[in-house]
Amino acid sequence: MKIAIVVGTRPEIIKMSPVIRECEKRNIDFFILHTGQHYSRNMDSIFFEQLELPDAKYNLDIGSSTHGEQTGKMLIGIEEVLEGECPDIALLQGDTNTVLAGAVAASKLGIKVGHVEAGLRSYDRRMPEEINRVLTDHCSDYLFAPTEKSRETLIGEGIPDEKIFVTGNTIVDAVFQNLEIVNNRVDILNDLHLNAGEYFLATVHRQENVDDNKIFEGIIKALECVVEEFGQRVIYPIHPRARKRIEDFDIDANKVELIDPLDYPGFLQLESNARAVLTDSGGVQEETCILNVPCVTLRDNTERPETIEVGSNIIAGTSPEKILDSVRQIIKVEQNWANPFGDGRAGEKIIGILERHV
C-alpha cells in the first residue's frame, strides 16, 4: 500500500502528525504533499522540524489567493504529483481548499480518497469550509468519523455505512504526543511573564468575523471588557490579515495584548495553561476540550457540538454582552468533563483500517 498524505495548513499538519508517525512506525510506503496554502516553505520546514516529522516530499507553494484561483492551482499541482506517484489512496484531513482539491484530483484519477475528520457540519453554507466538508465527504471512499454523531450525520446524507469508520479524532493523539515534545522545548509563559491560570487567550481569524467592521469591533470590545471585569490579561496572537483589519477599521484595541502569531509549540503551551480561551477556531474548540480548558466560541454555530454537550464550550455569538456573559458562565464550570473525541489512538486505527481494506 502506498499512501499520499495531502496537507496545506498548519492545523492539517498537526492533525495528520499521528497518522504520519503511525506510517513510519509500520514502515508503510507514504509521502507528504504540501500545497503551501498559507505559509512559506521556510516557516513550514521549521514547523515539521518542531513536531519531529519528515519533510514534505512535494511543496506546491500555492499561497493565498481567491478561493477559485487557489483551488484551481491546487487541482493542477496535486493531479501532476498523483499521476507521477500512483498512490493507492490519498489521505486528507479537515475542510480547507487543499482538502477539496485533493479529493477531487484523486477521485478523477481513480485513486481512493480517505477523509480524516469526516462528518462535521455547522449547517452554515456561508462558510467556505462547510462546502469543502460536504463535497469531500461525498467523493470519499473511506470516511474516518471522529464521533458516533459524525457517523450518524453521514448516514443521514445517504453515505453507505460500510464506508464510514468511527476512529476518534486525531487531535487527541496530536495534543498529547505534541505536548510532550512542547514541554521539553519552550517556556512561553516565562517569555510573556504570565502565570498559569491567570490570563485569557483569544484567537479570532475567520473571514466572517474579521472582515466585518461592526462584528470585529464588537469582539475586540468584548475582550477589553474581559480585561476590565476580571483584572487579567487577554493575549491575542493575531494573524497579519486580522491586524490589518484593525488598522483599516481604526479599532481601539489598547487593552488587549496583540502579539505576533506563535509557532505551534508556543501556542499549545499558552492554550493549555489559560484560564479560558475565546476563539472562532474549530480546532481550538477541540483542543481546549481535550486539555480541560474552558472555551467560549465567537460564532453563532459550531461543527463540534460534542464540546457543547460535555460542557467545555459555550456558543457566544459575537455581541460583546453575550461574550462577556459566556465568559462569566464558563469559568464557573468544573473542569472535569469527559473527552468526547476518542482514546488517542485514532492514527493507529486509521492506518490499521487502510491496511485491512486497501
As annotated, the active-site residues are: 205
Question: Quick check: helix, strand or coil at residue 32?
Answer: strand
In degrees and rounded to multiples of 5, residue 313 shows phi and psi of: -140, 145
Distance from chain centroid for Cα 192: 24
Q: In what side-by-side order are the strands of the sheet with 112-116?
A: 58-59, 29-34, 2-7, 89-93, 112-116, 142-145, 164-166
CB-CB neighbours of 76 under 10 Å: 12
Given a contact cutoff of 8 angstroms between Cβ atoms, the answer to whether 184 and 23 are in contact is: no
How far is Cα 213 from Cα 27, in angstroms, rounded to an integer? 51
Residue 266's Cβ-side half-sphere holds a number of Cα atoms within 13 Å equal to: 15
Give the separation between CA 315 and CA 334, rounded to whole angstroms: 18
